[in-house]
Structure 1
């Protein structure tokens, strides 16, 4: 990647992996970079109108949607960073535009696309257990009847069919191995198989019907991980670990391969000083 960063967001359109925003020593970034997974080359695209990090991101119907996060504000002399409820929508032909804001500000959340709608799950904010649902056709948000049973931030949020998996995260100041599954057709939660090890700040993606979880961190003591767990048939197994342990990375799938980009091998306060530009590519065994 051209610019090393952690706590960015990523989404795949076709064979292109878009990496957006992220942290830096001077605050959230606005840049958008695109990895051509076929040509193995990076290019710049239209930057976000504001800097953002730790937001929710998902692709749906040829567009990329971003909700919440820490946003830059103020002036150059006073570059304050605020929690936001803003939504940004990216169309490759038109660039970025605003969508309807979420009902409340939320950071370190997940965003998942299911059935033409977007679900904002988890994170930190007012009544963070609430699940916000966005309808792109009407540009309106609603709130699900059922709350996330254990509200937490920095979880991995992955859609599988009509279910949304909320995996790990930080709950009451500590990493958790908990997995909760939201059935979007019934607006109801059920328990899923716990991660083998409690984790926060990990990357995750769906490849060949299996959920892959990679990396992550713990803060007491500060440590990053290279673990690679795979959920299939209701059970977790281990796969080839990341070459470099890190947290705050992004992940995407294209052409039958899993791409893990950026992040930081340093935990906690060391995150912004140790950000990486590395791209790791995982090919599953047959």
Structure 2
């Protein structure tokens, strides 16, 4: 038996993915709750700019999910919180994974029949499904998953990636089969999902957020010689080799510049051709 909350016409379903549970990304059509002038002005600016509030809904059908700690908003139905620590060894592994990846140690596990709503956010969410696969994602991207997905840590396999990759020594590893919710830094439409077949991808910067298990990661000089690397202005590049998929978010740096510096950095980027004399 499936329980259901009434989703009013104030919410639009952006995406849906079905596994043992149903995962939906919902969007509030409009926010009209401003009770003072300042808040109302901000809400109007957000409406005009197309910034909308989103929320993840999970429908449990006698199934179980794991959530990032602190993201639950509310739930309805016959749902129980049932964390499995796996004894002293399991607890130790969770604490170690938390320490090295920066993720929270405990992922609350909810099981039963009903609906779960996660905290609303002005951010962006993506739904992906693993089929006996493994992916490595940036820390902080994990939001929720089916209980059949294991959340762990992956250690960088080369000294260069550990020391110069700007990704840390460990990253979050998601493996198994099931649906995953990721909290993305940009809309999914702005993600470049690069497929490699025994090929190489070189990236100037650390704007890769996901790679599949068949992709190796190293850091290399942009040119064969140190002089060539220095004169190119690029220095070192993040290099991805193998067969699989790499997700890039090239627009994320634009948003960071707009937020922190303003439009001047975009209209007059640094470089010799734009140097002031």
TM-score, with structure 1 as normaliser = 0.30
Q: Which has the higher contact order (CA 8 A, sep 6+)?
A: 2
Q: Which has the larger radius of gyration?
A: 2
TM-score, with structure 2 as normaliser = 0.30
